[in-house]
Chain A
């Protein structure tokens, strides 16, 4: 079974601070996605990374895929109250065997940004 360890589980910061969320595994993933979920709703995709070492930016959010495609990070610069939510990473593999077709999610990071 592939596992994705996400940290920290909770993050409470003040508006304007920077933060990083980590997503780590001992398994190699073909692609890794980051989702954001608000209360009462389903997760919504933020970004997909597929190449080792890839860096993608979405306004104040920077996503990085590790060189070995086993880990990823989400960095938010100058956090705002609107960034508050649950952030989830999800990995998929085309390695074949019993893992093919499965999508594995991390435990999630609950981010609260105080005004």
Chain B
């Protein structure tokens, strides 16, 4: 089944404790991206990757890191999480930016 998977689905952590949210797709898509969703703000792009080893900042990259070492995986890293990073996070993949974005199920992160 073609899908985007994210892990974990739910995470509660404390300020400053490094964490990684994994994202994997099995559709051989070139383009992958991370978004955060907050009430009233829609989806805001954090980072995107046009291809392996190519990543670029979205609109809200501060406090986040990503890497794209292989086509199928695009992990999101929070080196020192803070409470303002409490949010719902989505990973997405597609053949390219002008094509349908396939979203993962979301990761709800709470930083206390």
Q: A101-B97, A102-B59, A103-B48 are in contact. Are A108 and B106 (CB under 8 A)?
A: no
Cα separation A92 to B98 with both chains bound (whole Å): 7
| Residues of chain B at the chain A interface (Cβ within 8 Å) | 4, 31, 33, 35, 40-45, 48, 50, 56, 58-59, 90, 92, 97-101, 103-106
In the complex, the number of residue pairs spanning A and B with C-beta atoms less than 8 Å apart equals 65
The count of residues in chain A whose C-beta lies closer than 8 Å to any C-beta of chain B is 27
How far apart are A108's CB and chain B's nearest CB, in angstroms? 5
- Chain B, Cβ-Cβ closest to A93: B97
Between A and B, 19 residue pairs with Cβ closer than 8 Å are: A30-B98, A33-B100, A40-B105, A41-B105, A42-B4, A42-B106, A43-B103, A48-B100, A50-B98, A88-B43, A90-B101, A102-B97, A103-B45, A103-B101, A104-B59, A105-B35, A106-B42, A107-B40, A107-B41
User: Which residues does chain B contribute within 8 Å of A92, judged by CB atoms?
Assistant: 97-98
Q: A42-B90, A50-B98 are in contact. Are A101 and B103 (CB under 8 A)?
A: no
User: Which residues does chain A contribute within 8 Å of B92, judged by CB atoms?
Assistant: 42
- Chain A, Cβ-Cβ closest to B99: A48
How far apart are A8's CB and chain B's nearest CB, in angstroms? 12
Residues A1 and B59 in contact, CB atoms below 8 Å apart: yes
How far apart are B27's CB and chain A's nearest CB, in angstroms? 14
Which listed residue, A31, A104, A107, touches B45 by the CB 8 Å rule?
A104
Cα separation A30 to B106 with both chains bound (whole Å): 27
Residues A42 and B105 in contact, CB atoms below 8 Å apart: yes
How far apart are A89's CB and chain B's nearest CB, in angstroms? 9
